[in-house]
A and B are shown apart, each in its own frame.
Chain A
Amino acid sequence: MSRHHPKDTTLADFAAGTLDEGRSLVIATHLALCGQCRGFVAALEDVGGAMLEQIAPVALSDGASARVLDRLAPRSLAPKAPTAPKIWAADRDELLGYRLGPWRWVSPGLHYRAVDVPAAKDSRVFMLKAAPGLKLPSHLHTGTELTCVLAGAFIHEGGRYGAGDCDDADHDDAHSPVIDAGEECVCLVAMQGQIKFTSILGRMIQPFIRL
């Protein structure tokens, strides 16, 4: 069960389709692990349905209906949605249909792998794997960062973030996360804007995430 959820406005942007693709991937991952947020997104889609019913209709051109009826092809039956993939497993190089790059060593106890989101222009999407007890570089955001924990846990000023939890940080939050003892922590991160790392460790990671 997740205890840390994305902001309501982030979920609303996701459900509206206006959240960028990189962050949408992080949200889709959280939703796969969080029934409560799935419920809220479904409710927002009901809001969309209600507004669609109330909207002033704009008539289509004459004969549009007949033309579309002419285009209807016979359907083969049973076109149910294909069964969905597992979201992620340690031995898979794919996440919800996105290709994952190889794990790269960053510093003792810390690895990084890119997530190939072709359309992500101003955001970077990647996974971090950190050893138990590791202190991650403290950093100051100057953009937005969205994180979903896939395995293990980290702890920072906002609390403990375990598997399925989402950290939807504000641009002015300063964080210095520590990886929980006992288990390696794997996170999915979408980052926009610049990050200013304040430690040597932070500067080591910068080349990988093209800051």
Chain B
Amino acid sequence: MPTVVKGAKSSADLAALIEAVAADQDRAAFAALFDYFAPRIKGFLIRGNTPPAAAEELAQEAMLTVWRKAAQFDRNRAGASAWIFTIARNLRIDVARRDQRARLLDLEVEDDLEQPAPPDALLLAVERESRVQAALQALSDDQMRVVRLSFFEGKPHADIANELELPLGTVKSRIRLAMNRMRELLGDLT
């Protein structure tokens, strides 16, 4: 049976599915997550220049990681899609670079210089997500395009310049302006 690609799901629904996998090793919940995310992860990897056959394998690998690490998911810290994005991103790093940086990206470090924020000062992931959605709306189409290519797809600036037929300097300054804008809108999040 071909994998059915379903439409959008709410963030809370997706989080509940991961939680069901974590709490009950719920295979039906996992299958629903697979149907939703595996084709998106495959698409994500192909956009980042992973050959389709490898992307197919890696998308399955990513979903196995979701199964194994489901108990580490905490909806107060990260949205379901953001959490799965980090799993797919780390796999992309492991395959492309074969170094330790995915571990650095996952690090939860004991903060020994800074006073920890009191719990009520921590912004819940769901609030942060809606702030992020609003910030993305504030980017121009051109800025959104370079953010997608450089940040999401992880493409080098030179490749982006080729793809968009723009001078390298224009690409660099557009990325810088887009990220500065994001930071302006989201820089107060802790």
Contact = CB atoms under 8 A, between A and B. Distances in A.
Interface of A: 1-2, 8-9, 11-12, 14-21, 24-25, 27-28, 31-36, 38-40, 42-53, 55-69, 71-72, 74-75, 77-81, 83-87, 96-98, 117-119, 163-164
Q: How large is the interface on B (under 10, 10 to 19, 20 to 34, 35 or more residues)?
A: 35 or more
A76 B166 CA distance: 52
B64 A45 contact: no
Contacts of B47: 55
A201 B125 CA distance: 49
Contacts, number: 255
A60 B187 CA distance: 38
B18 interface: no
A62 to B, nearest CB: 5
Given A16-B89, A39-B123, A60 B56 contact: yes
Given A17-B154, A43-B189, A65 B182 contact: no
12 contacts: A18-B156, A20-B101, A32-B109, A44-B151, A50-B82, A57-B43, A59-B3, A60-B60, A65-B34, A65-B35, A72-B67, A119-B99
B165 interface: no
Interface in B52-108: 52, 55-56, 59-60, 63-64, 67-72, 77-86, 88-90, 92-93, 97-108
B72 A81 contact: yes
B190 interface: yes
Given A28-B104, A60-B39, A68 B34 contact: yes
A11 B151 CA distance: 10
Contact of B190 (A33, A39, A68, A164): A39
Contacts of B106: 81
Contacts of B188: 36, 39
B39 A52 contact: no
A52 B85 contact: yes
Given A47-B132, A52-B84, A86 B110 contact: yes
B17 interface: no
B131 A43 contact: yes
A96 B110 CA distance: 11
A53 B154 contact: no
A55 B117 CA distance: 35
A11 to B, nearest CB: 8
Contact of A48 (B89, B97, B104): B89
B129 to A, nearest CB: 5
B158 interface: no
Contacts of A11: 179
Contacts of B38: 60, 64-65, 68
B44 to A, nearest CB: 6
Contacts of B41: 52
A164 B35 CA distance: 43
A59 B5 contact: yes
Nearest to A43: B186
Contacts of B44: 52, 55
B60 A58 contact: no
